[in-house]
Structure 1
């Protein structure tokens, strides 16, 4: 089997399971509120932590880890009642609708975990609305025909300046805005923190064929993800929520094993391909706590 085909099968298997700068200053209500009474975590696989030991919770195919950033936050803050509703593969739709999972199982709408007495909500969603899985599979496949060019950017754009991924970003922003409004309706007194996505790719070049994204496509996809985080920050500000920016260069899929916060297509630490590892989750959790005005736990070395 060719290396390209092997890589595509590994990516497809992982995505079938997972569906898969600075910390923004917290609004005043975060520092003044009791965050520890009841904490609900909402989100997708970058929140749940697929294949990071130890996996826990029901349904099992949500692939939640006890070392995901919500658990880091709950432990650091000493939360009395913690509900991790995150589920790998979730989109904004699954905040209000059930999410179908393998073997006929499903995850309840994540909003079911919200109550009027919830004091803290974290939200990590939008990547699957943008199409993380589809984009990765498409770009991995196209890289085989032009590893030094930009076949993926060409696929998603046209000669008139159109960009389908940019259009999706606008749609994703509107969907996240609806989610934030829904959280406020159900948990009116909660502090809400929107958590950005750990950066997946470097700014340029990449590391083909270890991570088979064509050289000139790396910058295009990195800019797209950066714009996703900017979109999340904008919607958080509009909703008077905290935005937690976990952006930091040097920890992407092409970094050395000990520096990675996001694993590559062939993971070097226990985690799903192209998903955060334990170190990345610890760093994200520390930044959430810091953004909320608490003493951040020491990052893993």
Structure 2
């Protein structure tokens, strides 16, 4: 009888200890996030263009309350949060006007950058309005830029970030593939053009990932999370050409921010 009571007591104590540990884990994670100083940098894919609900104080930068940096901050309540990402930003814009909040106490940085340097907007305009041959030619020009010029510009941005925030975890996010091939689209670009655009996005992501790794940063791909939600998928998380609001074109919707960008960033942060 005494042995059975002792066994029951030991079992109860073990269960209580396990429950206490399980209960402490979320609290510990919450405490860690609450002590985080987070700065969100980058271009329109980080500011949230296409997601709507823009902060009027952000002006033409179009920082959305539905952008993944704000969603992460709302979920984790960091001790400080600075959101300087801006629509249309190139690498030089980040170094010139976005790095102010970074300091030696910064713990976490996120950034998307490089698409505007590589001429993404002009690529899409050419492909939509001109011939297939013109589209493919412009894509090849962008790929050449990614080979010859972009790596050095990314190095400048990444070095500047590390110089101002030497202890920060820096998460560099990529860009999605834009089209589901052989999907629901029956007009517009040819399949050849769509595949070339997807391949160019992969090309940019690969170059960006290499530069990020060389600086000790984490690269978070969003290709997987957007798979099944590309343009022509029937369940797109990306705007196609929007003639009424042309700036939204080829940018993530609110669902693209919450479902396409937030999960990869949360996993890497």
Q: TM-score band (shorter)? A: 0.7 to 0.9
1:8 aligned residue: none
Tell me the distance in 2 between the aligned counterparts of 1:204 and 1:238. 36
Q: Deviations for 1:118-177, whole angstroms, at most 9, x for unmatched residues?
A: 11110111110111111111111114xxxxx54411x337xxxxx322211122222112
- Which of 176, 179, 192 aligns to 1:201? It is 179
Per the TM alignment, residue 251 of structure 1 is displaced from its structure 2 partner at its CA by 1.3
Tell me the distance in 1 between the aligned counterparts of 2:133 and 2:111. 33
- Which of 277, 282, 288 aligns to 2:253? It is 277
Tell me the distance in 1 between the aligned counterparts of 2:189 and 2:70. 32
Q: Which runs of 5+ in 2 are unaligned?
A: 1-28
Greater percentage in helix: 2
1:156 aligned residue: 138
Tell me the distance in 2 between the aligned counterparts of 1:135 and 1:151. 10
Q: Which runs of 5+ in 1 are unaligned?
A: 1-30, 98-108, 144-148, 158-162, 293-301
2:161 aligned residue: 183
Per the TM alignment, residue 204 of structure 1 is displaced from its structure 2 partner at its CA by 5.9
Q: Deviations for 1:57-115, whole angstroms, at most 9, x for unmatched residues?
A: 53311111011011122123321211110000000010122xxxxxxxxxxx0012212
2:11 aligned residue: none
Contact 1:205 1:216 in 2 (8 A): no
Q: Which has the higher contact order (CA 8 A, sep 6+)?
A: 1
* TM-score under structure 1 length normalisation: 0.71
2:119 aligned residue: 131
Tell me the distance in 2 between the aligned counterparts of 1:111 and 1:92. 11
Tell me the distance in 2 between the aligned counterparts of 1:204 and 1:174. 36
Structure number with bigger Rg: 2
CA RMSD after TM alignment: 2.4
1:220 aligned residue: 196
- The alignment status of 1:247 with 2:223, answered yes or no, reads yes
Q: Runs (4+) of structure 1 moved beyond 4 Å? A: 203-206
Contact 1:205 1:218 in 2 (8 A): no
1:288 aligned residue: 265
